[in-house]
Amino acid sequence: MSEVTNQRRQKTRKDIIKDIAIAFLTILLLLTFFSNTIMNYSLPEVAIQQINSGSISPMIRGTGTVEAESPYNVKVTQERVIQSVAVAEGDHVEKGDILYNLEDKESTELTDAKTKLEELTQAYETSLFSGDLKDETITRIRQGKTTTFDQYQAKLKEATDRYNAAKDADLAVQAQIDELTQSQAYTAAQYNYDEATPSYTDAEITYRLAELGELIEEATNSQTSAKERMDELKTAHPSNYQKNKNYQQASLQYETASAQIDQFNDEKTQLEIAQASNTKDTSQVTTQAGQVDNDFTRQLASLQDTKNKTAAELEDATNDRTELLTEIGKEIELCNQRDDIAEQQKTVDKLVAESTGGKIEAPVAGTVTSLALKAGESTNPEEAVAVIQVDGKDMVTSFSVTIDQAKNLKVGDPAEPQNAWYYTDFKATLKSITTDTQNPNTKKLLTFVIKSPEVQAGQSVSLQIGQKSEEYDLTVPAGAIRTDSNGKFILIVKSKSSPLGNRYIATRVDVEVVASDDTTAAITGSLEGDEYVITTATNPVNAGNQVRLANNQ
């Protein structure tokens, strides 16, 4: 038997190339066959829904805080310390029920008011008996009598008139003294001259006599005026005219004028004698000079006596006027202090009357919605210690909506809670539609009346209120609406044919949303109405992207 040995033939280069070509073609056929499936698995998967007509019932939603309508804010006018709280929030109280018990202590306001009253009274009494006022003035002020401004004015005028008259008289006498002193000096100089020059010209005597005539006439007129004034005052005050200040002033004026007349007449007599003699020897001039000088001295002494009287009268008038001004100012100040005490007494009396005693009571019947204080805290006249929802008053809540949303609502429309399962007894009614003051150009404020035993003031309530249902030609799921910087749009699916099958492209269509509710939106745009809109996608999709349809490999 012969053994046959078979050996495998070695592959040539040609065989290797052939094998590679066969493998490549096999892979290419496989890739071509499965390419559609592979591509589909790499694309975003989207759900689509056809655009069609439908109805929309927009639902407006909002959340607001419940408040008591016209709540009663309980306040106390004085600061008191809370001893204990007698009620709890949510309790119903009747008028007169105790809300708080207070510590047995006067309020800070009452204590301060009494302290101020004591201070005003002490200052008033100190000023009243300071020694600056006459006894009759003190008595009048204590009796509550008040001098009128007209009376003040009359007294001040009388004192001022007396002061001015005394001042004028004193100045007039001083002017006479100054003039007589000057005349004495002038006359003495003239006599000295005459002693050296005996001749005494007639022209000079004539000139001086004319001057003396005018002076005597002026003094006589002053004397006559003073006499007439004295006679008038004597007639007006026959029993005590001599004590009258104006009479004394007129008498002083009369005496002064008389002294002047005597002085001027004496000088006139001397000049007339000199004019008659016309010539004198030196010894006669010397003798006459001495006599004239003595006359001047006598007249000056008389005037100085008058001056002493006018100066004393001026001093008295000045002192009386100063005392009157001081007394008027002091009296006005004391009357004001007395009035301040009376006003402060009224404040104390009012605080005593308004004192709440040892408790704060409910002023109205209703539900306590807020208690501001705890034991140990103090009341504040500016803040409410409690808030009561008055019986018969509603509870309300409000929230803002757009002007377009508000157009389809009317007062009286019912609303319901968004979480209706939470309540067993709940009713809400639209009470008013007003302009939102914070956004008057774009918003309206909806106010609802809430009736529910399960709702208290201060709670947050979420409501929803529906509008009338309307039909629209083009509606899509609300989630299909997209928004970017260019506005609102949807993505629809467009199909393109290829050798490997249909390809689906996301295409943008700009739209305007004319109405919407929780699930659906009514739109307008460049649409035929039978397009398919993308509602959801496994990955983000942009316009122009290729997508695969759900349940469509």
Give the range among 84-88, 390-394, 425-429, 478-482 with minimum mean pLDDT.
390-394
CA angle (74 as vertex; 69, 79 as ends), nearest 5: 150
37 pLDDT more than 60 = no
Pick the closest to residue 483 from 523, 444, 442 (CA basis).
523
- DSSP strand pairing (470-477 vs 520-525): antiparallel
CA angle (403 as vertex; 400, 406 as ends), nearest 5: 75
Domain co-membership, 227 together with 283:
yes
Domain co-membership, 391 together with 275:
no
Domain co-membership, 420 together with 522:
no
Say how far residue 86 (Cα) sits from the centre of its chain. Answer: 38
pLDDT of residue 454: 80
DSSP characters over 442-508: TEEEEEEEEE-TT--TT-EEEEEEE---EEEEEEEEGGG-EEETTEEEEEEEEEEEETTEEEEEEEE
pLDDT of residue 493: 93
- The answer as to whether 49 is a domain residue is yes
Confidence of residue 239 (pLDDT cuts 50, 70, 90): confident
| Model confidence pLDDT, tens digit, residues 89-141 | 878 889 888 888 887 666 777 788 888 888 888 888 887 787 777 777 778 77
- The answer as to whether 442 is a domain residue is yes
Contact 66, 455 (CB under 8 A): yes
Domain co-membership, 331 together with 454:
no
CATH code: domain of residue 433: 2.40.30
Instruction: Summarize the confidence of residues 13-28 as an average pLDDT.
Output: 74
The structural domain count of the chain equals: 3
pLDDT of residue 445: 92
78 pLDDT more than 60 = yes
- The answer as to whether 362 is a domain residue is no
> In angstroms, rounded to a whole number, what is the distance separating the alpha carbons of residues 295 and 304?
14
CATH code: domain of residue 484: 2.40.420.20
Domain co-membership, 185 together with 223:
yes
| Final residue belonging to a domain, choices 466, 483, 499 | 466
Domain co-membership, 342 together with 380:
no
- The answer as to whether 202 is a domain residue is yes
Instruction: Rank 179-188, 195-204, 352-361, 393-402 by mean pLDDT and report only the highest.
Output: 393-402
Instruction: Summarize the confidence of residues 255-276 as an average pLDDT.
Output: 85
Q: Find the helix or strand (DSSP H, E) in which 139 lies.
A: helix 135-142
Instruction: Summarize the confidence of residues 181-201 as an average pLDDT.
Output: 70
Domain co-membership, 224 together with 183:
yes
Instruction: Summarize the confidence of residues 154-161 as an average pLDDT.
Output: 86
| Percentage of residues in the chain having pLDDT higher than 70 | 88
- The answer as to whether 537 is a domain residue is yes
> In angstroms, rounded to a whole number, what is the distance separating the alpha carbons of residues 181 and 186?
9
11 pLDDT more than 70 = no
| Final residue belonging to a domain, choices 432, 466, 500 | 466
Domain co-membership, 430 together with 478:
no
The beta-strand segments (E) located in 326-453 are 359-361, 366-371, 386-390, 395-402, 414-417, 427-435, 443-451
1 pLDDT more than 50 = no
pLDDT of residue 109: 74
Confidence of residue 486 (pLDDT cuts 50, 70, 90): very high
User: Which CB contacts under 8 angstroms, 24+ apart, belong to 427-431?
Assistant: 427/451, 427/452, 428/461, 428/463, 430/465, 431/394, 431/396
- The answer as to whether 15 is a domain residue is no
The first and second tokens of residue 135, run together, are 């006894």
Instruction: Summarize the confidence of residues 416-423 as an average pLDDT.
Output: 86
- The answer as to whether 343 is a domain residue is yes
Domain co-membership, 160 together with 194:
yes
Reported as half-sphere exposure (CB side, CA atoms, 13 A), residue 118 has a value of: 6
pLDDT of residue 356: 60
- The answer as to whether 495 is a domain residue is yes
> Chain-wide mean pLDDT for the chain?
82
Instruction: Summarize the confidence of residues 158-186 as an average pLDDT.
Output: 86
Domain co-membership, 283 together with 396:
no
Domain co-membership, 537 together with 457:
no
User: What residues form DSSP beta bridges with 445?
Assistant: 400, 434
Pick the closest to residue 59 from 466, 420, 519 (CA basis).
466
Domain co-membership, 457 together with 484:
no
Taken in order 123, 126, 131, 134, the sign of the CA dihedral is positive
Instruction: Give the burial class of 520: count Cβ atoms within 10 A of its Cβ; 0-12 exposed, 13-18 middle, 19 or more buried.
Output: buried
28 pLDDT more than 80 = no
| Final residue belonging to a domain, choices 438, 466, 494 | 466
Task: Give the structural domain span for 73.
Answer: 61-88+370-466
379 vs 447, which has greater pLDDT? 447
Give the range among 185-194, 294-303, 365-374, 534-543 with minimum mean pLDDT.
185-194
Residue ranges of the alpha helices (H) in 64-107?
none
